[in-house]
Structure 1
Amino acid sequence: MRVNSNTKARTRAAVGLTVAALAAGATAGAGPATAQPKAAPAAAPAADCSAAYRIEQKLSTGTTWRMCWRYDGKAGLVLEKISYRPKGEPKPIRVLNSARLGQIHVPYDDGNVEYDDLTGFDFAQGLMNLAPGECPGGTIKTVKVPDSWNEDPNVKGLCTTTRSRGHAYRMQGDTANKVFQAQGKDLLVYTVNQVGWYEYMTEWRFQDDGTITMNVGATGSLSWDDYDAGDGRGWPIGKGASAKATSHSHNAFWRLDFALDGSTRNKVEQYDSKVTAPVRGRRAPTTKTTRTKVTKELAGDSKAYRWWRMVSATGKNKDGHARSYEIVPGPTTKYPGRSYTKHDLYVTQYNKCELFASNNPGNCGAGAGRSVDKWVNGQALTHPVVWMNIGFHHIARDEDQQPMPVHWQGFSIAPRDVTAMNPLTPAELGRQNGHWRPRS
């Protein structure tokens, strides 16, 4: 929880006051980081930025990720020009123009307070210095915070490192003579930002198979100033039932500007499957999947057997299939209290003014509104931008003290037909593409 802004200033002087929890189903484990990233060769092709703002990492399994970073005065860490080069590909494959948080919206159950942390409560200003032990085996980069309220705007606040994630695959052949297996590796990029009682961990994971996972977590303590909730709006914490910590929601938005194969003229598709009960003569139910081309701006809702993908307008893999990325939502609790949180996914036509999902500070024109739902107004999609909303209703528990265990909420985007085969396929299995036949 956090201090009520009407009674206490939310400043970085509260270093000794740790945070509240942003709890959610973990979309990804937060395992230990390992192995310091190797410096890329000076002559290697890199993202279009200077060395100080470049992240380039070749993982031990052969995949190389490249990107640029900058620090925005409201959004915090922004990653740009993101590409990866799997084994066997002749050049890097561009995935995203930019990736960043779009808002963290926190309404309290009692209706007394509501926060837009990125645009209303100086999220970016709260960038925290990281100790070496917080970036195991990695590198901590110095970030210059725009318009910093500190005497020194330079913060050692950006960690880049690698870590293992367990099995990438395992396959035993027709005989028991050989097991094919590999341990997956990730590039991990993250910052920690303090907002009053919160310390948000903004984590980006770049896997060697091309998957990108974005998570927001929080840790710390429950605010001592927030134990006045009544039954139904809070949970008793501590001895007896006299003090109830106020329940609240966390609605985290991400903004993704895709540029598959370097082009922003991507196409959006929605897939829905219908399961029909068994008919006479069949042993089991049947399932039929249909594709809907999304040509105009969309306010979409997750449901069983529904998914979306962003399709390259220019690139194909070696099998001749259009490259695409599938959007994989994480666990979410949709908050119905505001119009902009009533949908899980928004796809809008690019507008440089539309940067934050709520309380957008820019003047985007007469009648444009200041939240993402207002921007879905029927425009044709020639440069689609994806907004993902992952919510969590936080009802505190005794275990949330002291300190708060880290809790995560987030989602992934996964490659679909970006490469003709698993990019981690061992050479011995390279011929088994499509409807292959065993050798006689």
Structure 2
Amino acid sequence: MRMNRMSRARARTALALAVAGLAAGATAGAGPAAAQPKAAPAPPADCSAAHRIEQKLANGTTWRMCWRHSGMAGIVLEDVSYQPPGEARPITVLNSAKLAQIHVPYDDGIEEYADLTDQYFGDGLLNLTPGECPGGTIRTVRVPDARHSDSTDVKGLCTTTRARGHAYHLQSLKPDMSLGKLYQKQGKDLLVYAVNKVAWYEYITEWRFQDDGTIHMNVGATGSLAPQSYDAGDGQGWPIGKGAKAKALSHSHNVFWRLNFGLDGSSKGRIEQYDSKVSPPAPGKPAPSNKTTRTKVTKELAGDAKNMRWWRVVSATGKNKDGHPRSYELVPGPTAKYPGRGFTKHDVYFTQYNKCEQYASGNPHCPDGHPTTVDKWVNGQTLTNPVVWVNIGFHHIARDEDQQPMPVHWQGFSIAPRDVTAMNPLTPKELAGTNGQLDEGG
């Protein structure tokens, strides 16, 4: 069998104490320092230089944020702002973003883990080598041990930049429909990540901040299959090794994120749900129609993804230069929803902010009698300060290629700007005057 809870926790604690940290101080940025806008300087981030991330990307976009370490959640990002070209001041996006649970139930119904709150995920932060952070900065993280009075310095947080390929491609057309000028730009991301070890598994927690304002949040599971699971004689595993004798037990990784939006500096955003429905062609029309309806989510909600359904968080105070309210759209990645527990039955939760509600399950911060799982917090309260919880699941049925070491398997989601700027923030100068009209600058 896989190691039990106590032995797994001891393995995690021993690992955290054994990590060899370096005492070198962290630098303030992942690359060249970004110039402050002269007309309206950005206010200083509410954190020390060692805990501040500021990166101006090649296309002119600057991301700013603060980071801190949590013994349960690992790296937590706070005060995240985005300043694209043409904006005089940073646009606040998130008050905070963090992992909120990694729930790992095994298919045999015997073992089940909450890797953040039971196993102290953050304490398993690993040292990174320079080769894992090419062209970037590895920051020193002070990791206090949750069960002891001492702490360890870990070179455990990488901030770097990475090319992602095309940001856009436009082959313009002249009035006679011949090809005109080509507009294309290669995109760049700020990449912030750490690696945490929980027993045999290792998790890469990654945030990617694109130069167009999109944020990707992903967890990659790697490391090793637990050797204690190689005796899956109950028919719930997959053959590993010669013949069919050894079987790795199948299990799920249900990863939760907690996002506290602060669009334009206000926590009082609103939630909107959009659903589209395709209908057969109406009489006299050649093609089917597609109608999109908006539902204002005014009370707490446990939501489920459906075909042509999406949600956005709308700023209560800020508008772009066209006068449209700024918002961010939730873009879920592929998921295998696990229906075994109440808190894993839904894809997204919108709850009214409560300081004690920090983790999707096993929440240790609330007083006695307060529910400890996110599904129980959806009780009809009016949403004035919404907190967004995203659940992305992965059912891991092992394969021969998972040994050894195990290739990374990713799960996650994105938030994409919707009307944050009046045009594509990376629009070339020649097309800057085409807002609301078709002119390809050919």
Superposition TM-score, scaled by structure 2 size: 0.91
Distance 1:129 1:137 in 2: 17
1:95-244 aligned within 5 A: 95-147=93-145, 152-174=151-173, 175-230=178-233, 232-244=235-247
Aligned match of 1:4: 4
Q: 1:439 to 1:253 in 2, by over 3 A?
A: closer
How far apart are 1:38 and its partner, in Å?
A: 1.4
Summarize the alignment of residues 10-89 of structure 1 with structure 2, pairs less than 5 Å apart. 10-11=11-12, 13=14, 37-40=31-34, 45=42, 46-89=44-87
Match of 1:252 in 2: 255
Question: What is the identity, as a one-letter code, of the residue corresponding to 2:161?
Answer: T
1:369 corresponds to = 371
8 Å CA contact 1:219, 1:403 repeated in 2: yes
1:295 is aligned, of 294, 298, 307, to 298
User: Quick one: which amino acid aligns to residue 130 of structure 2?
Assistant: P
CA offsets 1:319-359 (integer angstroms, 9 cap, x no match):
01000000000000010100000000000000000000001
- What displacement does 1:11 show? 2.9
SS at match of 2:165: strand
Residue-by-residue CA offset, 1:386-420 (whole Å, 9 max, x unaligned): 00000011000000011111110000000000000
SS class of match (1:288): strand
Contact kept, 8 Å, 1:139 with 1:161, in 2: the verdict is yes
- The answer to whether the Cα contact below 8 Å between 2:201 and 2:225 also exists between their aligned partners in 1 is no
Kindly indicate whether the alpha-carbon contact (under 8 Å) linking 2:431 and 2:440 is maintained by their aligned counterparts in 1.
no
Q: 1:36 to 1:258 in 2, by over 3 A?
A: closer
Report the AA paired with residue 283 of structure 1.
P
Q: Shift of the alpha carbon at 1:5?
A: 2.9
Cα pair distance change 1:155/1:7, threshold 3 Å:
closer
Work out which of the residue numbers 421, 426, 429 in structure 1 matches 2:431.
429
Matches within 5 A, 1:233-382: 233-364=236-367, 366=369, 368-382=370-384
Report how far residue 152 of structure 1 moved.
Answer: 4.9
Q: Secondary structure of 1:216's match?
A: strand
Q: Shift of residue 229 of structure 1?
A: 1.2
Distance 1:170 1:135 in 2: 29
2:24 aligned residue: none
The AA in structure 2 aligned to 1:146 is: P
Q: Determine if contact 1:198/1:220 at 8 Å carries over to the other structure.
A: yes
How far has the Cα of 1:223 moved from its partner? Answer: 1.8
1:10 is aligned with what amino acid? A
Deviations 1:21-51 (A, max 9, x none): xxxxxxxxxxxxxx96213458963422111
Q: Do 1:330 and 1:409's aligned partners in 2 also have CA atoms closer than 8 Å?
A: yes
Q: Secondary structure at the match of 1:373?
A: helix
Residue aligning to 1:399: 401
Provide the aligned C-alpha RMSD in A: 2.0
Offset of residue 293 of structure 1? 0.2
Amino acid aligned to 1:172: Q
Q: Conserved in 2, the CA contact under 8 Å of 1:265 and 1:313?
A: yes
Output the amino acid matched with 1:318.
K
Q: Is the 8 A contact 1:106 1:250 kept in 2?
A: yes
In structure 1, distance between residues paired with 2:292 and 2:388:
23
Quickly say closer, same or farther: Cα 1:396–1:340, change in 2 above 3 A: same
Higher mean alpha-carbon deviation, 225-234 vs 238-247, is at: 225-234
Taking the aligned partners of 1:246 and 1:79, their CA distance within structure 2 comes to 34
Deviations 1:238-282 (A, max 9, x none): 100011100000000000000100000101000001110112211
State the match for 2:391 in structure 1.
Answer: 389
Q: Aligned residue for 1:414?
A: 416
Structure 1, unaligned stretches of length 5 or more? 16-34
Give the partner amino acid of 1:397. R
Query: Is 1:332–1:392's contact at 8 Å kept on the other side of the alignment?
Result: yes
- Partner residue of 2:19? none
**Are 1:2 and 1:222, in contact at CA under 8 Å, matched by a contact in 2?**
no
Contact 2:71–2:143, Cα closer than 8 Å, also in 1: yes
1:48 aligns to what SS in structure 2?
Answer: coil
Q: Does 1:90 align with 2:91?
A: no
Long gaps (5+) in structure 2: 17-28
| Letter paired with 1:237 | I
Tell me: CA distance 1:438–1:96, structure 2 relative to 1, closer, same or farther (3 Å).
closer
Code of the aligned partner of 2:261: F
Paired-residue identity, %: 69
Which TM-score applies when normalising by structure 1?
0.92
CA distance in 2, matches of 1:375, 1:218: 29
Q: Secondary structure of the residue that 2:243 maps to in structure 1?
A: coil
Distance in 2 between residues matched to 1:54 and 1:6, nearest whole Å: 36
Change (3 A) 1:284 1:395: same
Moved more, 218-227 or 62-71: 218-227
